[in-house]
Amino acid sequence: MHKVFDPLDSYLITAAVNELLSKGKVQAFIDNDKQSTPGVKVDLIVDVKDIALENGNLTLTPPKMPLRIVPDTEDVPLRVSKSVILVQHSVGMKFQGRFITRTGNPVDLSTASGMLESFTKSPTDSKRLIKHLKTLGFVINQDTT
């Protein structure tokens, strides 16, 4: 007998429900791995105030991502949600997050300078970044040439 459903199909349904209930803020996707694993991805909005200094290193602290685990014995509540909804025992479903700025630009996390440059897309943004870095104790030398 041929199986109609793959064990990962329930994750695809969960991902699609998340996209619908979040009005597109959570996006369903199918990974290009061998199993075509379903998952959800979200954009996490970060601001210069999320930049911190920990143990002498600049860090970017992500905002809290609301995550709701629904017991597998209950129905998923079908109402608009700001939380990512996962069903209990959803082991193997993919979850991706991407940092973006308030203006929607992706944050470059490959280097500290790339991360800082992500927050300098306008003169106002640059001023906010400089002000915040000064509060962290950095001395900023601005080149006026």
pTM of the model as a whole: 0.75
Convert 39-97 into a string of H (helix), E (strand) and C (coil): EEEEEEECCHHHEEEECCEEEECCCCCCEEEECCCCCCCCCCCCCEEEECCCCCCEEEE
pLDDT tens column, 97-138: 899 998 899 999 999 999 999 999 999 999 999 999 999 998
Does 27 or 87 have the greater pLDDT score? 27
For the chain, give every domain's residue range.
9-106
What pLDDT digit, counting tens, does each position of 32-90 carry?
Answer: 999 899 999 999 999 999 999 999 889 998 888 888 888 888 888 788 888 888 888 77
Dihedrals φ, ψ of 8, to 5°? -80, -10
